[in-house]
Structure 1
């Protein structure tokens, strides 16, 4: 369906998903392994344009999730032409056997635009999961130590090493873990910082730990920002015990927080930096690990390699995206508009203090935690009401209790006003207890998510 002929949701009481989305959902359940689907609303996406997405039934939504923070420049941006032009010249070379210039150009660009005043190299991959895998493999080979320190409710991926490194799902036992992965609390207060650092120091003193893996802001955990000074102290502690400092910027990177990399807010130079998601603005699967030359080169030839790593058209797209962010006013815009949106959400918190517990985050990586004490499905209900009114939020956190707001970095002030207007309307419906039985039924049936509350629906 042509996006120019879309239909807005004019009836705010219209139940979603629509009939075509329901059919797509039925086929998903019939043909796709259940591990591949964690539904937010049961709607199937057909197209995108600018900051908007459209479902298969023709309903349009302002996208505040951007394909899990991948589509950072929005939709229909012209990147497809860059890909096509590059593919016409060279569709594939298998870089491990034959280098190509596109991959070399992207590697140089990443090396020159990541923190760290030391010789660096790059390892290319296809996803955030395999990039985390590469970092852990390199850490182990370089340090000759196998244990990794990471944090509860971090999410690092679903492959052999990235999955046990993740701290999300520990309480449910859904991910396999081993003695080589130690998960600590992600401190939110100065007092907690002192305690956690002491525990990590004890782990370092065992001589088994080769590195620490951390998200500068925890994403799937509910946009959790670390307590002041924690990341810096953690870096100092890691250096003291010759442990590598590995930063997972898969979600926080590529300008999401107002800097190209979130770790730059703390003036920290990591040993290894991991990126994916927004690296290609959602156009192609690509990832990279950028870090110390001697660490990267500790891996043997072909020890971490993929047929499609360094894929020429993908690298040309990623090169364009990085340059787009660092050469224009994107970062200033993210900082400015992120603060405008956050301030407006804080005003809503003052109006609805019994519903909104906290508004947090940096740039256009924001989280709005709702008070679910009286209703475990309150956050899903709020997001569903917003969906009916044309806003597509994510909801994440330990108990699906946080509205995740990660729109395109190109979000305009007019679009910000729309987000706030719809949020206010949904909050008012909740405050006045005007949630219809049909909405409650749809939420129970279609809004699953990844938090603990999702167990009851799986």
Structure 2
């Protein structure tokens, strides 16, 4: 699927220019993408690669999805930004359709996932003071160890990842960290001034960690009993990735607040949202929170098409069926000496590589040489999360390349 580098290959020059002029806050694989369609990307030298990362789930509907591109193009000819100083004709429908998809009442749109998390923190605190009656300045939020909710100053204040935290203090107070999946520890941490429990239904950056059965249902029961908001960060896990619209659905759980992003923008524009009840989001008054680009017409047009594609359920069913096949094939590798564990749901998997076979980065580079793009996390783990439109044949070809790299 790949060809050898030549002296005319522009890849090296472009990577060198990136290293010279861009801050080194990422360590990308040495590939320079020029175009993409569906589950495939083509680099500047014409080599094709199967995308098994999907922009960390931002590209659930594939690269260049025609419905999304057409929606964006149509809106580009009309109006792209008004700011929230004025109404625009796509906003009401976007809020109504997204609230309906979530079974909620209100939407507060932002742009990035981190902004949605920051907004949720502010929402939970304001709700705690205005509705629950927590004394001013005492609101606390319980979070899970090994979480990933973004990289803003407040969010990294409750991260347990040294790379995310180091050299950025002083940190924002008001958070209590408990082990992920430990319901007893969570219950012990919830006190009279707790306003929210903020969790990923599946921890993505930690290696696609799925909590023990009954954990999310237990969190829902506990938070309801203690008058605490259950905030589910579905930014990576939501919108079809796990075979359901939301990962919480696997335990029949509906949180108080959904946090959405990534796939909501279809890989076209950044779109995020906090979605909840009128009681929760109704605490805001004009001027208390906002975003110039949040809920802009272009974002709403694209997100409306995303919501329309999710309403039918076909993309979720596809992720469930192909995901079952993916996990069956990956689990066959466990115990053979190359793969130590496989976790995940739907078209989302974390694969722990045995150290003797290389680091996650090394495995990712070897797969790249064979025309497959994945990304490592936490040293020995690779993440597999293809666009949900990937064909079974392409997925099987990608798995063949993984077997070849591992000698399995």
Q: TM-score scaled by structure 1?
A: 0.82
**Mapping 1:384-403, distance limit 5 Å:** 384-396=365-377, 399-403=378-382
Equivalent-residue separation in structure 1 for 2:250 and 2:379 (angstroms): 28
Shift in Å at residue 387 of structure 1?
A: 0.9
- Checking the alignment, whether the CA contact within 8 Å between 2:153 and 2:172 is kept in structure 1 is no
Matching residue within 240, 265, 268 for 1:283: 268
Alignment of 1:72 onto 2:64: no
Alignment of 1:182 onto 2:142: no
SS at match of 2:77: helix
**Mapping 1:40-119, distance limit 5 Å:** 40-78=28-66, 79-94=68-83, 96-115=84-103
Aligned CA distance change for structure 1 residues 18 and 110 (closer, same or farther; 3 Å): farther
Report what 1:20 is aligned to.
10
Report what 2:346 is aligned to.
363
Aligned CA distance change for structure 1 residues 105 and 257 (closer, same or farther; 3 Å): same
**Mapping 1:3-14, distance limit 5 Å:** 8-10=1-3
Shift in Å at residue 107 of structure 1?
A: 0.8
Equivalent-residue separation in structure 2 for 1:18 and 1:245 (angstroms): 55
Shift in Å at residue 22 of structure 1?
A: 2.5
Aligned CA distance change for structure 1 residues 51 and 204 (closer, same or farther; 3 Å): same
Number of equivalences? 398
- Checking the alignment, whether the CA contact within 8 Å between 2:40 and 2:48 is kept in structure 1 is yes
**Mapping 1:375-454, distance limit 5 Å:** 377-396=358-377, 399-428=378-407
Please give the per-residue CA displacement for 1:298-353, whole angstroms capped at 9, x wherever unaligned.
12322221111111121111110121122252111110011111111112225xx2
- Checking the alignment, whether the CA contact within 8 Å between 1:44 and 1:55 is kept in structure 2 is yes
Equivalent-residue separation in structure 1 for 2:110 and 2:295 (angstroms): 7
Shift in Å at residue 99 of structure 1?
A: 1.5
SS at match of 2:176: strand
- Checking the alignment, whether the CA contact within 8 Å between 2:141 and 2:197 is kept in structure 1 is yes
Alignment of 1:310 onto 2:303: no
Equivalent-residue separation in structure 2 for 1:93 and 1:167 (angstroms): 39
Aligned CA distance change for structure 1 residues 414 and 18 (closer, same or farther; 3 Å): farther
Please give the per-residue CA displacement for 1:76-122, whole angstroms capped at 9, x wherever unaligned.
2222221121121222221x211222121111111111145xxx211
Report what 1:3 is aligned to.
none
Please give the per-residue CA displacement for 1:29-50, whole angstroms capped at 9, x wherever unaligned.
2222223xx2241222211012
Please give the per-residue CA displacement for 1:232-283, whole angstroms capped at 9, x wherever unaligned.
1122222222211101011001100011111111111211100000002110
Aligned CA distance change for structure 1 residues 162 and 301 (closer, same or farther; 3 Å): farther
Report what 2:242 is aligned to.
257
Report what 1:332 is aligned to.
317
Equivalent-residue separation in structure 1 for 2:402 and 2:94 (angstroms): 40
SS at match of 1:256: coil
Equivalent-residue separation in structure 2 for 1:293 and 1:424 (angstroms): 50
**Mapping 1:112-261, distance limit 5 Å:** 112-115=100-103, 120-144=105-129, 145-169=138-162, 173=166, 176=169, 177-187=171-181, 193=182, 197-205=183-191, 207-261=192-246
Report what 1:435 is aligned to.
none
- Checking the alignment, whether the CA contact within 8 Å between 1:137 and 1:299 is kept in structure 2 is no
Runs of 5+ consecutive residues of structure 2 not aligned to the other structure: 130-137
SS at match of 2:102: coil
Aligned CA distance change for structure 1 residues 167 and 294 (closer, same or farther; 3 Å): farther
Shift in Å at residue 170 of structure 1?
A: 7.3
- Checking the alignment, whether the CA contact within 8 Å between 1:369 and 1:403 is kept in structure 2 is yes
Matching residue within 329, 334, 342 for 2:327: 342
- Checking the alignment, whether the CA contact within 8 Å between 2:353 and 2:380 is kept in structure 1 is yes
Please give the per-residue CA displacement for 1:30-77, whole angstroms capped at 9, x wherever unaligned.
222223xx2241222211012101222222100001122111111222
Equivalent-residue separation in structure 1 for 2:318 and 2:208 (angstroms): 20
